[in-house]
Amino acid sequence: MSKVALTVDVRSTPQRRAVLDVIDRATDHPTAAEVLERVNEVLPGVGAATVYRALGRLVDAGQIAEFCFGSSATRYDRNVDHHEHLICDRCGRVEDVVLDLHNSQLLAPLTKRGDFAVTSYDLRVHGVCHDCTITTTENHPHPKEK
Ligand SMILES: [Zn+2]
Ligand SMILES: [Zn+2]
pTM: 0.71
Q: Give 78 Cα–ligand 1 centroid separation in angstroms.
A: 20
Give tens-digit pLDDT for 70-127: 778 899 999 998 899 999 999 888 889 988 777 778 788 887 888 988 887 888 899 9
Three-class SS of the chain: CCHHHHHCCHHHCHHHHHHHHHHHHCCCCCEHHHHHHHHHHHCCCCCHHHHHHHHHHHHHCCCCEEECCCCCCCEEECCCCCCEEEEECCCCCEEEECCCCCCCHHHHHHHHHCCCCCCCCCCEEEECCHHHHHCCCCCCCCCCCC
pLDDT at 27: 83
What's the pLDDT band for 54 if we cut at 50, 70, 90? very high
Q: Where in the chain is the domain with CATH 1.10.10.10?
A: 3-76
What's the pLDDT band for 4 if we cut at 50, 70, 90? very low
Give tens-digit pLDDT for 11-29: 568 889 999 999 999 988 9
Q: Give 55 Cα–ligand 2 centroid separation in angstroms.
A: 16
Q: Where in the chain is the domain with CATH 3.30.1490.190?
A: 81-134
Assigned CATH class of 3-76: mainly alpha
- Dihedral sign for Cα 59, 74, 103, 118, please: negative
The CATH number fitting domain 81-134, selected from 3.30.1490.190, 3.30.2420.10, 3.90.650.10, 3.20.20.10 = 3.30.1490.190
From the CA of 26, the nearest ligand is 2
